[in-house]
Amino acid sequence: MAIEVKNIRKAFGDFAALDDVSLKVDDGELVALLGPSGSGKTTLLRIIAGLEYADSGRVLIDGSEASRMHARERNVGFVFQHYALFKHMTVFDNVAFGLRVRPQAVRPLPGEISDRVMALLKLVHLDKFYDRYPSQLSGGQRQRVALARSLAVEPKLLLLDEPFGALDAKVRKELRRWLRRLHDDIHITSIFVTHDQEEAMEVSDRVVVMNHGKIEQVGTPEQVYHSPGNGFVYDFLGNYNEFVGWKDENGDVHLAEDDLWEARQQTPSAPVLTSRTHWLSRYPELTNALRKVIPGLPLPMQTPSSRAFAKMTRSQMRALLAERGIPVRVFARPHEMFVTKMPDDAHEYIPVDVIHINPAGSLAKIEMQRKNGIILQAEVPKTIIDSLAIKKGDHLFVRPKNVRVFE
Amino acid sequence: MWRRHSPTTEPFWMQALLMTAGFGFMAVLVLLPMAVVFAEAFKAGWVSYRNALEDPSALSAIRLTLLVAVIAVPLNVVFGLAASWAIAKFDFIGKRLLIAFIDLPFSVSPVISGLIYVLLFGANSVLGGWLADHDMQIIFAVPGLVIATMFVTFPFVARELIPLMEEQGTEEEEAAIMLGANGWRTFFSVTLPNIKWGLLYGVLLCNARAMGEFGAVSVVSGHIKGLTNTIPLHVEILYNEYNFVAAFAVASILTGLALVTLLLKSLIEFRFAGEIRAQKG
């Protein structure tokens, strides 16, 4: 069943939970609504379910108007974060509930209900627990009962509100894979809400990134991760290091950091940096990366000349920046950081101290502190840590190999 | 109970002192008077006890008390359910006011509340005059007794249910609706089973108070023997007439009722301990 919401607005008092949201979900798709708390993702889900009415806008189910249709008529399965199982009913009765409340004319016979419930319990591997009460089950088992219960009424659409949010990490991963497999088997159109980007990436066909009641980006996990549409999406989908810089009239991006200048002042022993003549720098890789995103980007740009910059105050730098182009935030993922003990002449480096190394996994995570106190993160192969003999307290030089810019 | 002394518990002598104080107060304030009630009631033997209860005015007092309770308790259950449902599951203007009003009978002296009804419905009031013209009597009649009793007892059910329903939220009801259940089905299959123990406690407490209420009822009753006397009022009259055996005999019925209420409550807690715990978990 295809779902479409058009120009949905919803406010709670002064708070705009949803601000002109439109979204289309195709038949059989598994879509994740991803965003921080307060982004409106759960409200959107509840409006699709009919548990909440939008202030304005429309909900279309299979192309026909459903905005004012009652929740119980929408034929939608809903799975709650805290399971919402009927505590006083057994697992069997919970799953059977949706069939038993049907009007007599369309209610299956008791034998049929029993068969269908047991089949569903088998599907969620809980057929042996049919006579247990919810309080006798673990969190993961309860959520599987909740899922079986919502599927019992053969919904055309399955909505899941942070379905794994209350579970511990290991069970969460297990259920995630299981949900994916289930969806591959029964192909029911499904929308689930999560604030866990890894979960969204792993399970869904498409990810809808939401923030402040608006949709920031819609795309496959691949698209939103590798081509984030804006700073928020980039920020939300992973760790990053942030720098400041500017974009000139050619669209070239330059980093503008004062560490290098400070380094020259304070650590004259730093071999390469003392020999550098300017603190503003640019990265060939950066321009190359940008060229992929923005076609027809002219190359290269002029290197700003040296000495004048060395004596500048911060406000003068800012003024100069503004004069040169648009100030931008420049981002690099931890795995896009290059670290070395021997900086070369061809690039600008930021001097840092290693404050923590987490060697778990194939990529080691290094936390480093800049001279100005800002923390940088890098993920490098363990082999590099070993060959460079990097340990806590070491002085290192880092530079981003690849950056992204959002205005 | 001997326990090994742990750093976070009080020393034994302190525990003993606290327990003695607790049980001591209980004995002096509750057990002793209760024993006296039964002792005095049976002082002149079983026959005079039975005679006191079989006296027509005593029987009519018992009947009236039961009648008042049978009307007031169900009405308060309906009110308590409606009010706690509204308070726990919706947000609306005046919610705080409603909560404050539900507590009012606890803070107002029952005599005052009785008096207010006399002023409101009495012969000298506007409303009372209109009622008298239409041949309806409220004060010094059964309706007055019911209204006064309802006022005094209406917090019991609501107070029991509000925290319970607030804690449970609306998710289970929403789940039922998503599965296609209509409003009544949701209420009877999901909401009611979830609150049944709390509701039962509330009803028991409400009933005990409804039968035992003295102050408010005393003001609106008019003490017409055989007509508007409830059990507590009848006890007072007998006592004032120096008919101690009869007074205590009738009082023993109220005391017995209190004991039965307590027993029922404990029985429910014991018998359904597992189920009650499961609902909280």
Give the three-state DSSP class for A162: coil
Interface check for B181 against chain A (CB to CB < 8 A): the answer is yes
Task: Check whether residue B15 and residue B60 sit in a common domain.
Answer: no
Q: Tell me the pLDDT tens digit for each residue of B90-141.
A: 888 888 898 888 888 888 888 888 888 888 888 777 787 788 788 778 888 8
Contact of A149 with chain B, judged by CB distance below 8 Å, is answered with yes
Q: Which residues neighbour A339 within 8 Å (Cβ) at sequence distance 6 or greater?
A: A366, A368, A378, A380, A384, A388, A390, A396, A397, A398
Residue B4 located in a structural domain: no
Cα–chain center distance at A337? 21
- Same domain for B98 and B23: no
Please list, residue by residue across B102-115, b when 16 or more beta carbons sit within 10 angstroms of its beta carbon and e when fewer do: beebeeeebeebbb
What CATH number does the domain containing B118 carry? 1.10.3720.10
d(CA A380, CA A358): 11
Residue B26 falls within a domain, yes or no? yes
What are the pLDDT digits (tens) for A103-162?
999 899 999 999 999 999 998 889 999 999 999 999 989 999 999 999 999 998 999 999
Same domain, B98 and B204: yes
Q: Does B173 lie in the same domain as B121?
A: yes
Q: What's the burial of B45, exposed, middle or buried (CB within 10 Å: 0-12/13-18/19+)?
A: exposed
Task: Give domain status of residue B125, yes or no.
Answer: yes
In this predicted structure, what is the pLDDT of residue B122?
80
Residues in Cβ contact with A281 at an 8 Å cutoff, skipping those fewer than 6 apart: A254, A255, A260, A347, A348
Q: Which of A288-297, B31-40, B56-65, B143-152 has the lowest mean pLDDT?
A: A288-297
Residue B5 covered by a domain: no
Strand partners, A211: A214
What average pLDDT does this structure show over A95-110?
A: 93
pTM of the model: 0.75
Instruction: Tell me which residues of chain A, numbers 259 to 288, contact chain B at a CB-CB cutoff of 8 Å.
Output: none
- In the predicted model, is pLDDT for residue A249 greater than 50? yes
Does residue B73 lie in a domain region? yes
Comparing CA positions, the residue from B14, B161, B192 lying closest to residue B80 is: B161
Residue B23: domain span = 10-41
Residues B106 and B185 in one domain: yes
A86 and B278 in contact by Cβ < 8 A? no
3-state helix, strand, coil split of chain B in percent (to 5) is 80, 0, 20
3-class SS at B104? helix
Please tell me the distance from the alpha carbon of residue A139 to that of residue A154, in angstroms, as a whole number: 24
Please list the helix, strand and coil fractions of chain A in percent, rounded to the nearest 5, in that order. 35, 30, 35
What angle in degrees, to the nearest 10, is found between the helix axes of A169-186 and A139-152? Answer: 20
B275 in a structural domain: yes
Burial code (b: 16+ CB inside 10 Å, e: under 16) for A281-306 equals bbbebbbebbeeeeeeeeeeeeeeee
Residue B76 has pLDDT above 70, yes or no: yes
Find, among A115, A193, A184, the residue nearest to A160 by Cα.
A193
**Is B75 within the bounds of a domain?**
yes
Residues B15 and B84 in one domain: no
Highest mean pLDDT among A108-122, A386-400, B41-55, B109-123: A108-122
Query: Tell me, what amino acid is at B253?
Result: I
- Percent of chain A residues topping a pLDDT of 70: 79
Number of compact structural domains in chain B: 2
Mean pLDDT within B174-195: 92
B200 falls within a domain? yes
What CA–CA distances, in Å, run from B71 to A390, B146, B149, B211?
83, 7, 10, 11
Residues B217, B154 within the same domain: yes
B223 contact A CB<8A: no
Confidence of residue B74 (pLDDT cuts 50, 70, 90): very high
Quote the ipTM score. Answer: 0.73
Question: Do B83 and B146 belong together in one domain?
Answer: yes
Tell me whether residues B275 and A97 touch, CB distance under 8 A: no
First to last CA, chain A: 38
Same domain (yes/no): B179, B77: yes
Element containing residue B15 per DSSP (H, E): helix B12-26
With CA atoms as reference, the chain B residue closest to A96 would be B179
Do residues B210 and B253 share a domain?
Answer: yes
Same domain, yes or no: B49 and B37: no
What φ, ψ does residue A169 adopt, rounded to 5°?
A: -55, -45
Q: What share of chain A has pLDDT > 90, as a percent? A: 43
Same structural domain, B126 and B140: yes
* Rounded CA Rg of chain B: 23
Please tell me the distance in Å from A170's CA to the nearest CA on chain B: 22
Chain B residues within 8 A of A150 when measuring between CB atoms? 178-179
